[in-house]
């Protein structure tokens, strides 16, 4: 019985990487040269940065059995306010970067308190902060688009070089962002799989009441989980800013789905209590290959939205099947 269960789990571990390869090959066949190019790989990488950071953060939340719908708008709000302090208030760039991280972290802290201390359902509280963050960005910037420095700008030209690409190791336009992504992937995995913080994250998601009765201060740890996720969303804001430069108020809605779907495709259960960071990383690349692949084969934004929706449903269906299978083992 148990052997069978493990075998099934192994299959599921293989499923995501397999899907990634199949997707890439499929797009290469349909898209031909256009897809199978260095530029495309760069595009895929660049859009995976911000999705990746969102996904790393929300992986922790989903493993506790929660959800964060405010990812996308908080990311934009953070990037928007960071740019605002840089362009309009003429803060030094480094301070603006700090502001961006702070905005993300603060919203995470707020979410954490709403969920853990005030006992609001995560779905509702983060739906609230989703709209709040979108609103705040627009209010402060008076609905004006804000820009981060481009690579050629004299002030802050290093921003893109540090976060996205620069000539490094003798390679022209080396994707520096990938280094950041990998570095934070390693940090996130270590936190999730090797620290007390991570162990409690799993425990809370697996059985919150049992965790509480074991003497774990569940509420405090939950606030910490949402706050950490908020920091990652702030990082996502920076990566988005560095990749796309211009931030438009009132956007970001729907971006959260890229992150959440990436996590679920990667094998983290919406029911909480199980998941891996590696899975999330692969899930993120699936989302970003899909995004870029669709546009490479000539299907534009509306189609991308449509397919993202489809993938969300597919991923959650898969998750329900997984949970059912796990419960079946439990009963016996």
Binding residues (CB under 8 A) for other proteins: these are 1-2, 5, 190, 194-196, 198-200, 202-203, 206-207, 209-217, 273-274, 326, 329-330, 332
What does the DSSP assignment read for 122-138? Answer: HHHHHHHHHHHHHHHHH
For other proteins, give the closer residue by CB, 23 or 326. 326
Least Å from the CB of residue 240 to other proteins: 30
For other proteins, give the closer residue by CB, 138 or 207. 207
Least Å from the CB of residue 62 to other proteins: 14
Main-chain dihedrals φ then ψ at residue 167, nearest 5 degrees: -75, 115
Main-chain dihedrals φ then ψ at residue 43, nearest 5 degrees: -60, -45
Identify the CA nearest to 112 among candidates 241, 224, 24, 194.
224
Q: Which residue carries 């270590």 as its tokens? A: 190
For other proteins, give the closer residue by CB, 144 or 327. 327
For other proteins, give the closer residue by CB, 22 or 329. 329
Least Å from the CB of residue 327 to other proteins: 9
d(CA 106, CA 124): 18
User: Which residues, in sequence order, are bridge partners of residue 165?
Assistant: 175
Least Å from the CB of residue 203 to other proteins: 5
Give CB contacts under 8 A, 24+ apart, made by 212-220: 218/116, 219/116, 219/117, 220/116
For other proteins, give the closer residue by CB, 4 or 118. 4
Q: Judge contact between 45 and 163, C-beta under 8 A.
A: no
Least Å from the CB of residue 13 to other proteins: 15
Least Å from the CB of residue 122 to other proteins: 19
d(CA 302, CA 230): 29
3-state secondary structure 61-117: HHHCCCCCCCHHHHHHHHHHHHHHHHHCCCCCHHHHHHHHHHHHHHHHHHHHHHHHH
Least Å from the CB of residue 330 to other proteins: 5
Q: What per-residue string of b and e applies to 245-270 under the rule 16 or more CB within 10 Å gives b?
A: bebbbebbeebbbbbbbbbbbbbbbb
For other proteins, give the closer residue by CB, 24 or 221. 221
For other proteins, give the closer residue by CB, 139 or 187. 187
For other proteins, give the closer residue by CB, 172 or 209. 209
Other CB atoms within a 10 A radius of the CB of residue 139 amount to 10
- Kindly compute the dihedral angle of the four CA atoms of residues 92, 52, 44, 246, in this order, to the nearest 10 degrees: -30
Least Å from the CB of residue 2 to other proteins: 5
């Amino acid at each position: 019985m148990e052997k069978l269960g493990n075998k099934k789990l192994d299959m599921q571990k293989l499923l995501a990487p397999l899907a990634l390869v199949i997707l890439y090959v499929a797009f290469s066949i349909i898209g031909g040269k256009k897809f199978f190019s260095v530029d495309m790989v760069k595009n895929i990488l660049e859009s995976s940065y911000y999705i990746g950071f969102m996904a790393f953060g929300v992986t922790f939340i989903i493993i506790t059995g929660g959800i964060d719908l405010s990812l996308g708008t908080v990311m934009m709000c953070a990037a928007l306010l960071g740019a605002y302090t840089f362009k309009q208030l003429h803060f030094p760039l480094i301070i603006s970067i700090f502001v961006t991280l702070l905005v993300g972290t603060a919203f995470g802290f707020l979410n954490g308190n709403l969920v853990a201390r005030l006992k609001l359902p995560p779905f509702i509280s983060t739906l609230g902060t989703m709209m709040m963050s979108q609103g705040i960005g627009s209010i402060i910037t008076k609905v004006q688009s804000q820009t981060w420095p481009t690579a050629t700008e004299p002030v802050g030209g290093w921003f893109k070089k540090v976060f996205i690409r620069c000539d490094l190791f003798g390679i022209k336009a080396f994707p520096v962002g990938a280094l950041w992504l990998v570095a934070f992937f390693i940090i996130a995995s270590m936190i999730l799989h090797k620290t007390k913080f991570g162990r409690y994250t799993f425990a809370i998601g697996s059985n919150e009441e049992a965790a509480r009765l074991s003497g774990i201060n569940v509420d405090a740890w939950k606030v910490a989980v949402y706050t950490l996720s908020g920091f990652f969303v702030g990082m996502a804001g920076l990566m988005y800013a560095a990749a796309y430069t211009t931030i438009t108020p009132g956007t970001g809605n729907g971006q959260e789905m890229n992150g959440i779907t990436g996590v679920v495709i990667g094998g983290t259960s919406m029911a909480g209590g199980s998941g891996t960071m590696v899975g999330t990383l692969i899930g993120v690349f699936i989302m970003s290959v899909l995004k870029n692949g669709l546009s490479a084969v000539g299907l534009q934004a509306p189609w991308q939205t449509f397919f993202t929706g489809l993938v969300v449903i597919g991923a959650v269906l898969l998750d329900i099947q997984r949970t059912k299978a796990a419960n079946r083992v439990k009963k016996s």
